[in-house]
Amino acid sequence: MRRGIMCHNHDYPILHYLYFGGAPVSVICSRFFSTGTGKQVTHWRRMWRRLTKMVEARLIKCAINHRTAETILFLDIKGAELVCDVYSLEIENAWIHTGRPRDFHHDLTTASLARRVIFESETTTYSVLTLEFEHYLKRVQGRKGGSTKGLGYPDFRVSTKNVGDQPRTIDVERDCATIGRQAFERKIQGATYPLLIVFDKPKRGAWLYTQAVNMGTTRRIYLTEYKTLPNNIFSPAICWHPPHCDPMAITIWNQ
């Protein structure tokens, strides 16, 4: 018990999962409540019984994605405090929604991408040193006394280390075709490290590539379509030098 909150051991992995952003309730069910035995309706009943208690304890909160009519779960402030204590995470980096997200698709796919980096790394030869979200990068800049107005920040910045190699840091932008040319240019100009841009459709990727070329930037930019991403998306053998990927699916441009 902590501050009057009763939290079970199996709640911690759920809170850790939501630390990196919202997730559809169907994903939470399949990852944490479907045991492979018994009826699916039983899993859902058990899940909702536990999630309802977590909502009442203000560990998590939920909203309806009206585009898909699905319930989305988010981390609440008390849940963030708890998971940061247990997993030694930075509270200011926790993805806590204070209101209804303006763009469910962008937020959910960005969170999904971040979780692939964190949780898939357990089965590879690389480890994640840090993963910092856009809101955290802005706060760090503000604490340094710098202005954040008009600056472009990536959706998240991740540092990884492969066995036997030096650490690598890249900026990641999840593009959902919701920003225009000026905002895109700010993203490129604001990137501190090589920038990986993940888009949805080839036509959008071609537009992004054209805008980057027209800028004449010297920054390293990697463009990849979301559905073609391999599971181990930050393996140097795949992401940085993809010998087995369709060149039309992943374009590497280094001016």
**DSSP element (H, E) containing 80:** helix 77-87
Q: What domains does the chain contain, in order, with CATH numbers?
A: 1-100 (1.10.10.10), 102-255 (no CATH)
CA terminus-to-terminus distance, the chain: 56
Given this model, what pLDDT does residue 167 score?
86
Q: Give the pair of three-digit tokens for residue 69.
A: 């009519």
**DSSP element (H, E) containing 173:** strand 168-174
Given this model, what pLDDT does residue 184 score?
87
Report the 3 state secondary structure along 30-77. HHHCCCCCCCHHHHHHHHHHHHHHHHHCCCEEEEEECCCCEEEEEECH
What Rg value do the Cα atoms of the chain yield, rounded? 19
Given this model, what pLDDT does residue 239 score?
44
Given this model, what pLDDT does residue 252 score?
40
Distance CA 136, CA 25 (A): 26
Sign of the alpha-carbon dihedral angle for 27, 29, 31, 34: negative
> What is the model's pTM?
0.84
Q: Give the pair of three-digit tokens for residue 114.
A: 């971040």
Q: How far is CA 235 from CA 18, 42, 121, 232, in A?
A: 24, 39, 9, 6
Strand order across the 23-24 sheet: 23-24, 70-75, 60-65
Given this model, what pLDDT does residue 117 score?
85
pLDDT less than 50: residues of the chain: 1-4, 236-255
Phi, psi of 157 (to 5 degrees): -120, 130
Given this model, what pLDDT does residue 233 score?
62
Helices 11-19/77-87 angle, 10° precision: 100
Number of C-beta neighbours around residue 37 at 10 A: 7
Sign of the alpha-carbon dihedral angle for 115, 116, 122, 128: negative
Give one DSSP letter per residue of 217-232, joined into a string.
Answer: --S-EEEEEGGG--SS
The strand pair at 60-65 and 70-75 is best described as: antiparallel
